[in-house]
Chain A
Amino acid sequence: MDRIINYGEAIREATDQEMERDPGVINLGIGIDDMRAFYGTLKGLAAKYGEARVFGTPLAEDSMTGVAIGAALGGLRPIHVHERMDFVLLAMNQLVNIAAKSRYMYGGAVSVPMVVRACIGRSWGQGAQHSQALHSYFMHIPGLKVVAPTTPYDAKGCLIAAIRDDNPVIYMEHRLLHRYKGHVPPESYTMPFGKARVLAEGTDVTIIGISFMGVECLRARTHLEAVGIKAEVIDPVSLSPLDMDTILKSVHKTGHLLVVDSGWTCCGAGAEIVARIAEGSDGKSIRVRRMGFAPVTCPTVKALEDHFYPNARTIAEAAHSVIHGGKKSWKPEGAEAPEISEFKGPF
Chain B
Amino acid sequence: MLELTPGLPLTLSPLMASVDQSLCARLYRSMLLIRRLEERVAQVYPTDKIKSPVHLSIGQEATAVGVCEALRPGDVVFGTYRNHAVYLAKGGDLNRMVAELCGKVTGCGRGKAGSMHLVDVGAGVLGASAIVGTSIPNAVGYAYAMKLREQANVSVTFFGDGAVDEGCFYESLNFAALKELPVIFLCENNGYAVNSRQLDRQPSSNIVDRARALGVDAERIDDNDVLAIYEHVTKAAEALRHGHGRPFLFECMTYRWREHVGPNEDFDGLRRNRSEAEVWFARDPIERLAKSLDPEFCKQAEGEVEAKIKAAFEFAEKSSFPPAEDLYGDVFKEN
- Is the Cβ of A73 less than 8 Å from the Cβ of B142? yes
Which of B111, B113, B134 is close to A94, meaning CB atoms less than 8 Å apart?
B134
Given the complex of chains A and B, what is the CA–CA distance between A66 and B131 in angstroms? 12
Given the complex of chains A and B, what is the CA–CA distance between A108 and B107 in angstroms? 12
- Number of A residues whose C-beta is below 8 Å from B? 43
Residues in chain B near residue A52, CB distance under 8 A? 148
Given the complex of chains A and B, what is the CA–CA distance between A105 and B146 in angstroms? 24
Which of A68, A71, A76, A97 is close to B131, meaning CB atoms less than 8 Å apart?
A97
Given the complex of chains A and B, what is the CA–CA distance between A97 and B335 in angstroms? 22
Return the CB mask of A40-72 against B: 1 if under 8 Å, else 0.
Answer: 000000000000110001101011111111111
- Is the Cβ of B172 less than 8 Å from the Cβ of A66? yes
Interface centre among A58, A104, A145 (most CB of B within 10 A): A104
Cβ of A107 within 8 Å of any chain B Cβ, yes or no, is yes
CB-nearest residue of chain B relative to A74? B145
Which of B137, B142, B331, B333 is close to A63, meaning CB atoms less than 8 Å apart?
B137
- Is the Cβ of A104 less than 8 Å from the Cβ of B112? yes
Q: What is the interface residue range for chain B against chain A? A: 35 or more
- Is the Cβ of B113 less than 8 Å from the Cβ of A111? no
- A58-B178 CB under 8 A given contacts A66-B172, A104-B112: yes
Cβ of A165 within 8 Å of any chain B Cβ, yes or no, is yes
Residues in chain B near residue A164, CB distance under 8 A? 335
Given the complex of chains A and B, what is the CA–CA distance between A26 and B78 in angstroms? 22
CB-nearest residue of chain B relative to A108? B330
- Is the Cβ of B126 less than 8 Å from the Cβ of A110? yes
- Is the Cβ of B141 less than 8 Å from the Cβ of A71? yes
Residues in chain A near residue B148, CB distance under 8 A? 26, 52-53, 76
- A70-B144 CB under 8 A given contacts A104-B330, A107-B107: yes
Minimum CB–CB distance from B177 to chain A (whole Å) comes to: 11
Which of B121, B138, B174, B330 is close to A66, meaning CB atoms less than 8 Å apart?
B138
- Is the Cβ of B141 less than 8 Å from the Cβ of A107? no
Which of B139, B143, B332 is close to A103, meaning CB atoms less than 8 Å apart?
B332
Cβ of A326 within 8 Å of any chain B Cβ, yes or no, is no
Interface centre among B138, B146, B175 (most CB of A within 10 A): B138
- Is the Cβ of A76 less than 8 Å from the Cβ of B136? no
- A70-B113 CB under 8 A given contacts A103-B331, A103-B333, A106-B119: no
Given the complex of chains A and B, what is the CA–CA distance between A302 and B139 in angstroms? 45
Cβ of A332 within 8 Å of any chain B Cβ, yes or no, is no
- A73-B112 CB under 8 A given contacts A106-B117, A142-B331: no
- Is the Cβ of B113 less than 8 Å from the Cβ of A106? yes
- Is the Cβ of B131 less than 8 Å from the Cβ of A93? yes
Interface centre among B111, B141, B174 (most CB of A within 10 A): B141
Minimum CB–CB distance from B111 to chain A (whole Å) comes to: 7
- Is the Cβ of B144 less than 8 Å from the Cβ of A71? yes
Return the CB mask of B312-335 against A: 1 if under 8 Å, else 0.
Answer: 000000000000000001111101
Residues in chain A near residue B299, CB distance under 8 A? none
Q: Which of A131-175 contact B (CB under 8 A)?
A: 142-143, 145, 164-167
Cβ of A98 within 8 Å of any chain B Cβ, yes or no, is yes
- Is the Cβ of B134 less than 8 Å from the Cβ of A97? yes
Cβ of A109 within 8 Å of any chain B Cβ, yes or no, is yes
13 contacting pairs across A/B (C-beta < 8 A)? A26-B148, A53-B148, A58-B178, A60-B171, A63-B168, A66-B134, A67-B144, A71-B142, A74-B143, A74-B155, A76-B149, A106-B127, A143-B332
Chain B interfacial positions (CB closer than 8 Å to A)? 78, 107-113, 117, 119-121, 126-127, 129, 131, 134-146, 148-149, 155, 167-168, 171-172, 174-175, 178, 329-333, 335
Task: Beyond A67-B175, A110-B126, list 17 extra A-B contacts (CB 8 Å).
Answer: A62-B167, A62-B168, A63-B168, A67-B144, A70-B145, A71-B144, A73-B126, A73-B141, A74-B149, A76-B144, A97-B131, A98-B134, A103-B331, A104-B331, A105-B109, A106-B108, A109-B109
